[in-house]
Copies of this chain bind each other. A is one copy, B any other.
Amino acid sequence: MGRVWRALLLAASVPAVAGAGELQDDLRARRGRVMEALGPESVLIHRSAPARVYSRDVDYEYRQDSDLLYLTGVDQEGTTLVLLPGNKTKKSILFVSDANPRREHWQGHLLTKQEAQEASGVDEVRLASELDDFLVSLMNGYPFGERLTEYTGEYDAFFEALKADTARLALILGWRPGPKDELPQAYEFAERMRQRVPGLQVRDATRMVWGLRQVKTAYERAALQRSTDVSADAHRAAMRATKPDRFEYEVEAALEKAYLERGAPSWGYPSIVGSGPNATILHYDRSRRQMKAGELLLIDAAAFYQGMTADITRSWPVSGKYSKEQAELWRLVLAAQDAGMKAAVAGNHTTDVEKAAEDVVKAGLLKLGLVTDASSKQHRTWYTHGICHWIGLDVHDVGDYRRPLEPGMAFVIEPGIYIREQALEALEDTPENRAFKEKVRPAALKYRDIGVRVEDSFLLTETGLVRLSARVPRTLEEIEAFMAGRDQ
């Protein structure tokens, strides 16, 4: 109880750094919940992500598989987790790369067994070179690396299940590939195991693990707040770096420097830094344009920090003051976000949040002359994407939108409006659309090339909704005041 209480306190006070102990406790608890769901007749096997090629012999900076991070906290290639919930004491076994002085002189220190044990809190650490033999032993009902005279029945629950043909191999297969996609490695592994162990049932544990990830633990809540703080600081640095005639990449430099100098190893997703018409491209990541006074700059960016990725967007004026048209659209997306927040209560669904915001947008666009019928789908011309997604280990974190909101869920509310002439031109040529185009064209010209999106990272708690990214100026008044003070 003491420990849980302390963790809750941690979440409430949101410290700069939590002690490492809490993470290991949390990792143990996560694995415990997974093993409870699997049952004693299962073995779960999950491998680390491969390195990804940048060009020739240079790889991108390594990104661990999110599910492996969730269950082990280990950020090293060549790692495999084996869970055996029916085991007596060695329920969690981690296989890590063998020590290799030559390789370590080149690529850096590899975790020793003890370091891997301390980092992850697993019951046993073994070397990656032992994994294949371990699996052969396991599937043949022999304890690996033990003399039978000293064997105390560690693996018997699984061995009995094998004998009874009730043993299950659980894999976290992830998002299912389409009929034309190449099969990911885990599928081929499943197929090979099925061929070698008739009677072994393969079970996809993805939904179960992802269901757990959808509700953040006390430790994760605190880590997500710390991660959001780093991203919020970076947005403030980017606001300060915004000046007419600078290039988008110069602002991106200030933004990403703020990640790195706070110890975040990377972005959680490529930074979107779009000025003027580029603000109407949702995932614009080129950052090549020179910003002009009078335009808006849209920044959608967040760091990957302590295993968490927030998601924050603001659209601020390059010269510090919103024009009348920019202000009207900015106020509209803020009002939509406010409406969404009100609907983000336990028991509701994200679709309720979406609907609440959408109603505000429809009415607002009607007032501005950008739609002629608020009960139609006309607003989709300018309001082009959904506004809720989960956040966590991934920026588009895993989770089931059919599940009602509950404390511990973390998500964004991100209404956006993009006035692109092409959006009108691309409409199907029907009598209604022709009438619509004709009527709204003056307004479309008036607001042309303005793109606004407001996006905050939220956590639903037992006492209500928390805006984790509250540190970033948001209202027109806050942003203009911040921009006015940026050189002081």
Contacts and interface: CB of A to CB of B under 8 A. Distances in A.
Which residue of A56, A175, A254 has the most chain B CB atoms within 10 A of its CB atom? A56
A256 B249 contact: no
Given A61-B285, A281-B105, A281-B108, A56 B396 contact: yes
Nearest to A250: B261
A261 B256 CA distance: 11
Interface in A268-324: 268-270, 278, 280-288
A281 B102 CA distance: 10
A463 interface: no
Contact of A281 (B58, B104, B252, B254): B104
B260 A256 contact: yes
A338 interface: no
Contact of A63 (B54, B253, B269, B280): B54
Interface stretch (A81-89, A417-425, A464-472): A417-425
A55 interface: yes
A263 interface: yes
Contacts of A107: 281-283
A418 B58 contact: no
A282 B106 contact: yes
A127 B307 CA distance: 41
A38 to B, nearest CB: 23
A411 to B, nearest CB: 15
A196 interface: no
A426 interface: yes
A5 interface: no
Which range contains the number of A residues in contact with the other chain? 35 or more
A281 B396 contact: no
A52 interface: yes
A101 interface: yes
Contact of A254 (B257, B286, B287): B257
Contacts of A269: 54, 58
A196 B119 CA distance: 54
Interface string A40-67: 0000000001001111111111010110
A482 interface: no
Interface in A422-446: 422-423, 426
Contacts of A66: 55-56
Nearest to A282: B106
A264 to B, nearest CB: 8
A422 B110 CA distance: 14
B281 A56 contact: no
A384 interface: yes
Given A252-B260, A256-B260, A175 B56 contact: yes
A395 B56 CA distance: 9
A171 B49 CA distance: 30
Interface string A241-267: 000000101101110111111010100
A282 B105 contact: yes
A311 to B, nearest CB: 11
Nearest to A257: B257
Given A260-B253, A260-B256, A108 B283 contact: yes
A40 to B, nearest CB: 31
Given A52-B53, A175-B56, A108 B396 contact: no
29 contacts: A49-B55, A52-B53, A52-B54, A54-B63, A55-B65, A56-B175, A56-B394, A56-B396, A60-B60, A61-B270, A102-B426, A105-B280, A105-B282, A105-B384, A105-B418, A106-B281, A106-B282, A107-B281, A107-B282, A108-B281, A108-B283, A108-B285, A109-B281, A249-B265, A250-B261, A253-B258, A253-B261, A257-B260, A263-B288
Given A107-B282, A249-B261, 20 more contacts: A54-B60, A55-B393, A56-B66, A56-B396, A56-B398, A58-B269, A58-B270, A58-B394, A102-B426, A105-B281, A105-B420, A105-B423, A107-B283, A249-B260, A252-B260, A253-B258, A256-B256, A263-B288, A265-B286, A265-B287
4 nearest CB pairs, A to B: A253-B260, A253-B261, A257-B257, A52-B52
